[in-house]
Amino acid sequence: MAASTSLLFIDILVLKNDLGEDSATEIVAEIMLLVVVVLFTRKGIREPEYRAGFFLVAGFFACMLIRELDQLFDYIAHGAWFWFAAPLAAAAVLYALLHPRTATGGLYQFVSHRSYGMMVTGLLIVLVFSRLFGMGILWRGMMGDDFNRLAKNLAEEGCELLGYTLCLLSAVIFYRTATVPVKNDCTE
């Protein structure tokens, strides 16, 4: 947690940037999302009996990553990220629908694991709290004519980074500790 928070200090005090799309904070958040995608994808590849569920989680976070990379997709057209995320989401959902047993099994494995609460907390921070806390109207109302976009960005990006850190920690814990029941070939 302290390491991710130090990124805010690096951006503000060392790099002297405004926490925009090319800040160290944003880049590390994108890397965190990528690692979550890779961990759930690898888990799905290694555990075929839960594959569709793990791929569904990986697809969700891949869509979040694409959305975070919207500045790159804006070179194509404004909002182009959607046209990359939508087919990915559709493919993940379709795969889960075609493999309902491994979809429900994989999702059950994750939601019943001790790391799931941390993941939900991280997602709530990213998708709800940071968005509400970072609303310009709130900051303009509080600061009036002294509105400082950097202060708003610091609060919003700091919350977002906290949420992504929790998601990453949850994924790492799940990846490393969730055990798959071993099938005993001698009893079959």
**Domain boundaries in the chain?**
2-177
Residue range 66-85, pLDDT digits in tens = 999 999 999 999 999 999 99
pTM of the predicted structure, to 2 decimals: 0.89
Token readout for 26 is 């944003």
Q: For residue 134, report the phi and psi dihedrals to the nearest 5 degrees.
A: -95, 10
Token readout for 67 is 């959305």
Confidence of residue 108 (pLDDT cuts 50, 70, 90): very high
pLDDT over 70 for what percent of the chain? 95
Handedness of CA 111, 115, 117, 119 (dihedral sign): negative
Residue range 111-155, pLDDT digits in tens = 999 999 999 999 999 999 988 888 888 888 888 888 777 888 888
DSSP 12: I
Token readout for 104 is 């429900």
Residue 62 exposure: Cα atoms within 13 Å on the Cβ side? 21
Confidence of residue 186 (pLDDT cuts 50, 70, 90): very low
Q: What confidence score (pLDDT) does residue 119 get?
A: 98
Residue 17 has pLDDT above 90, yes or no: no
Q: What is the mean pLDDT of the chain?
A: 90
Q: For residue 115, report the phi and psi dihedrals to the nearest 5 degrees.
A: -80, -10
Q: What confidence score (pLDDT) does residue 183 get?
A: 54
Confidence of residue 181 (pLDDT cuts 50, 70, 90): low
Token readout for 83 is 């046209």
Categorise residue 17: left if φ over 0, alpha if ψ from -120 to 50, beta otherwise. Answer: beta
The amino acid at 42: R
